[in-house]
Amino acid sequence: MIQLTTSHFGYFEFRLCPDKKSIDQLVTQDCFDQHLLSLENGSNRYSIVTSGQNETHYPKVQLPPGITCQFCVLQWNYRTGIHHHNI
């Protein structure tokens, strides 16, 4: 569940680093970049298309087949977009 208090349009992306071997091990962006997750509809982006406030979103992200780990780290990015209005 993701609750936005203000929408800046754009999209969410989710990545996973399954290579962490202990709770103290740091993960790298390279690890995240190797595992861009898909949504249930097959897309890698969950688009924000409304401009409402206090909206709740429920993106359903799929883990890659065969991925198991004790210390997986999930990365969530919100790439905002610019929405133009005609005046």
- Compute and round to an integer the Cα radius of gyration of the chain: 15
Question: What is the DSSP secondary structure assignment for residue 37, as one 8-state letter?
Answer: P
The pLDDT score that the predictor gives to residue 86 is: 46
- Which residues are bridge partners to 2 per DSSP? 57
The pLDDT score that the predictor gives to residue 30 is: 95
Nearest residue to 2 via CA among 11, 24, 87 = 11
Do the Cβ atoms of 80 and 10 come closer than 8 Å? yes
Which mean pLDDT values do the consecutive 10-residue runs of the chain (87 residues) have?
Answer: 78 92 91 94 90 84 87 91 54
